[in-house]
Amino acid sequence: MNLSDSTALVTGGSSGIGFAIAKALADAGARVAITGRDQDKLTRAAVTIGAQAIRADVSNEDDVRRTMTETLAALGHLDILVNNAGIGTFKALVDQDLESFERIFATNVTGPMLMGREAAKHFIGRRRGNIVNIASTAGTRGAPNGTAYYASKFALRGMTECWRGELRPHNIRVFLINPSEVLTPFFDTGAGAPPDNPTKLHAEDIAHAVRSVLEMHDRGFTPELSIFATNPRD
């Protein structure tokens, strides 16, 4: 697709991978809306990119419906949904608490489902559209302490497969992007941005992958793409 003057909605677009994706799309000429829960951070990010800021929690159904209404009011129509918003905690099974488990699934699984549902209604009516789900290589294999986060990414991967089956007859492309470890505040412990490491993936690398798969001609698409650092070192 030609990203120039296309429209895109990026959830969790105020920082990290979401911000990098939103900026890459805007740099390519797209008109972009971003969501986030922190109003101050969201406003700063939107000003930097030149995007429409929509404060919303993707796990809240009313917020999701309002997000779509505000996006269409601001952009006129929607060509691309990027389901990026996500959270994670990592605990041993014996220490896993129900509250954090359900919170992770609410954001990482229910949120993309709600956003995808509302976008699909719009895309089906237009007979075209693109949904990009940002998952993780965690959704391709298990690991110790990953019960909640890894399982949520397995679930997102499964939903993506289902959506492809439903939406391809409507000329809607559904992509799954699996980043490996990326240097973003997602993995931060609260002491600020993680230290730079030239051997690890950066958010801009994932944004490059998203832009690249979208720019392929609409007659085809890349169903799933995993991105790894070539030779990561601590």
> What are the E-state strand segments in the chain?
7-10, 31-36, 52-55, 80-83, 129-134, 172-179, 182-183, 201-202, 224-227
Mean pLDDT of the chain: 95
Is 140 a domain residue?
yes
Tell the burial category of 207 from Cβ atoms under 10 Å away from its Cβ (0-12, 13-18, 19+). Answer: buried
Identify the active-site residue in 105, 123, 149, 163: 149
Residue 10 contacts residue 18 (beta carbons within 8 Å): yes
Helix or strand holding residue 227 (H, E): strand 224-227
Catalytic residue flag (residue 149):
yes
d(CA 4, CA 91): 43
In a domain, 206, yes or no: yes
- Which tens digits make up the pLDDT trace of 113-142? 999 999 999 999 999 999 999 999 999 999
CATH number at residue 145: 3.40.50.720
Task: Examine residue 210 and state whether it is found in any structural domain, yes or no.
Answer: yes
Give the other-Cβ count within 10 Å of 133's Cβ.
Answer: 24
Q: For 104-108, what is the mean pLDDT?
A: 98
- Whether pTM > 0.85 for this model: the answer is yes
What 8-state DSSP symbol labels residue 74?
H
The number of folded domains in the chain is 1
Q: Give 147-169 pLDDT, tens digit per residue.
A: 999 999 999 999 999 999 999 99
Structure tokens at 210: 């998203």
The domain containing residue 32 runs over which residues? 7-227
194: in domain: yes
Q: Is the per-residue pLDDT at 192 higher than 80?
A: no
CA distance linking residue 174 with residue 178, whole number of Å: 13
Residue 232 located in a structural domain: no
Q: What is the pLDDT of residues 66-91, one digit of tens each?
A: 999 999 999 999 999 999 999 999 99
